[in-house]
Amino acid sequence: MHEGSPAPDGPWAGPPGPSLVRRLLGEPGADDGAAPDGLDVDDAERALLAGWRSGGVHGFFLVTDVVDEHAVLHNLEDDLDYPVWTGRSQVPASALAPDLPLAARVLPVGAGWIFAGTPDIYPPDDLANVVEGVVGLLAASPCPAYRNPARLARARELVADHHRAFLDLFGDVVVEGTATHVIDAYLRFQERIGAPADEFALLPSLRDVRRLPDDGTDPDDAAFALAHHPVKGLRLLDCYAQLREVHTPPLAPWKPPRLAQVLADPDVPSWVLVLLAERYADHLDALYGAALDRPGLAWARDGAALLRDREPAATRDEPGLMMTSSIMGRVLPPGDEPADALSRR
């Protein structure tokens, strides 16, 4: 339904084909936009399928009630209840019982939900392992918790408090320096904000040193930065100094190709580019026009839209309670590396 059927030559021969949902909606790239032969979708069915496009809610649940062909599932990530109609699923209501943990995907149908596929049911005494799975999921990304409006509001409040603490501690929203200096700044900030509130105990800021170099081997490398946004939270940035140089006049031939590479990298947050554009606004029209091959581009008119559209709308305003990292490849000015280095990166 959502991931597509296996490739024709076997499940491991290649990527799956387009999902049935996309094909029924006639989306571009889904079997040339054509619905399967013999299936007509009316307006009501199309609205239903549009609600399934994102894949519904996938995660760990605990059965709290079973009545006739309906079960109430409590989601352990977002702390919300989902009334699920089991009548058409491969798991009848009689197979469910209160306190039974399961992993499932549910899809919206009006005010209720249905199973998408067969859920994985665990014995009640396996709840500890299920909770461990929830912890792992939320530690990797807190986004599932934000389906709960109260959790989302509290997360936004916490990130705003953290932003004020960052500004009070460092006097700016960006701290630049070597890897050691930036990590020291992070630890000072972590000490200042303390532990997250109890409801976010599973979502601590994480010290990310996976790809930081040893200052002893590269003592002159001061390309790192720690930046904080009032909504998106804390970000560790590699090659920030070079990205700042790209935005600083005068315009040099190597700068538009470097910016084009950055704009094509989804890991580089748009708000960092907005921050640099606000601080170094003297040649943005020429810089971004050349990087995007758009003569006549005016940053004042086009800049906000082009950076906003780089990021998925679904996660654009989600608060960031964890530190994440952006590791960007380097494109140095001509003469500092071989001419084909850009094509190798």
- For residues 136 and 59, is the Cβ–Cβ distance under 8 A? no
Q: Collapsing DSSP states into helix, strand and coil, what is residue 341? A: helix
pTM: 0.68
List of residues 6+ apart from 161 with CB closer than 8 A:
193
Q: What is the DSSP letter of 222?
A: -
What is the reported pLDDT for 34? 54
Indicate whether 207 pLDDT > 90: no
- For residues 24 and 39, is the Cβ–Cβ distance under 8 A? yes
* Arithmetic mean of pLDDT over the chain: 75
**Whole-number Cα distances in Å, 148 to 76, 144, 151, 173:** 11, 8, 5, 29
d(CA 173, CA 157): 18
How much of the chain exceeds pLDDT 90, in percent? Answer: 17
What is the reported pLDDT for 132? 77
Query: pLDDT-derived band of residue 333, with 50, 70 and 90 as boundaries?
Result: low
